[in-house]
Structure 1
Amino acid sequence: MPTVYVTRKVRFNAAHRLHNPARSDAWNRETFGKCNNPNWHGHNYTLEVTVAGEPDPETGYVIDLGVLKRILEEKVVAKCDHANLNLDVDFMQGVLPSTENFAVAIWHQLVDALPSGRLVSVRLYETEHNMAEYRGE
């Protein structure tokens, strides 16, 4: 059977602050610029999750996209939408919420939650120009 890749896209809004408490305020301002604003800043995130596998002979699905939609809603969107990543999101506690780290954290939320297929990639767009992709490596 062929391997097929299916992708689901979701959107959510969240605030965060890039700040490394192990470094000085001056270092944080210089390193993170506007992203170090002590009053936070927000993004309109777009998340693309790709799952691969052989289509089921009875359904033709690698994964039922309705099921994947529910998993993304439960594991990511419900926790992150209109939330502060630094303060409100359980799986981001103690993690510097860069797009790179956020993508890895989302992967860990999803990797064991899929009923079929295998998680191939998490692509997280912070803006239309900036994104991070994690493939479980």
Structure 2
Amino acid sequence: MEIFKEFTFDAAHHLPHVPEGHKCKQVHGHTYHLTLFFTGEPDPHLGWIIDFAEIKQCVRPILEQLDHKNLNEVAGLENPTCEHITIWLWQKIKPILPSLSKIQLRETPTSGAIYCGPSK
């Protein structure tokens, strides 16, 4: 079974490696929509894979590092494309919530990235 928990955060960034004249070269912001997916079997006694409150408690401090920040100034996000932000989040969240199976990060309603961890 797969469950999910959604979060949002607001942040600014610019993409330093895009060509001159590209609109993303300038500082701009997004309201990011993050969906975390967890896979497992429901605990026979509790009835859930993981407590949604536990997910929120674990993820909140990580998102506070990004919310209302310039992502280019966050360690490890010097080139904060949606893809790099998704990998950064995975590296922070997976060790503390090992049943994490997938991350979806949308930077606009129609654009985003999905990451399921490193290729084996």
Which TM-score applies when normalising by structure 2? 0.91
Higher Rg of the two aligned structures? 1
Runs of 5+ consecutive residues of structure 1 not aligned to the other structure: 21-26
Pick from 43, 46, 55 the counterpart of residue 56 of structure 1.
43
Shift of 1:70: 1.3
Q: How does 1:113-132 map to 2 (within 5 A)?
A: 113-114=96-97, 118-132=99-113
TM-align CA RMSD: 1.4
User: Which has the larger share of helix?
Assistant: 1
Pick from 20, 39, 49 the counterpart of residue 29 of structure 1.
20
User: Which has the larger share of strand?
Assistant: 2
User: Which residue identity does 1:103 align to in structure 2?
Assistant: T
User: Which residue identity does 1:90 align to in structure 2?
Assistant: A
Match of residue 45 from structure 1: 32
* Count of paired positions: 118
The 2-side partners of 1:90 and 1:60 are apart by: 38
Q: Per the alignment, in what secondary structure is the counterpart of residue 108 of structure 2? A: coil
User: Which residue identity does 2:99 align to in structure 1?
Assistant: R
The 2-side partners of 1:64 and 1:106 are apart by: 20
1:31-57 deviations in whole A, cap 9, x for unaligned?
xx11101xx110010000001111111
Shift of 1:28: 2.6
Q: Per the alignment, in what secondary structure is the counterpart of residue 19 of structure 2? A: helix
Pick from 80, 86, 92 the counterpart of residue 103 of structure 1.
86
Match of residue 69 from structure 1: 56
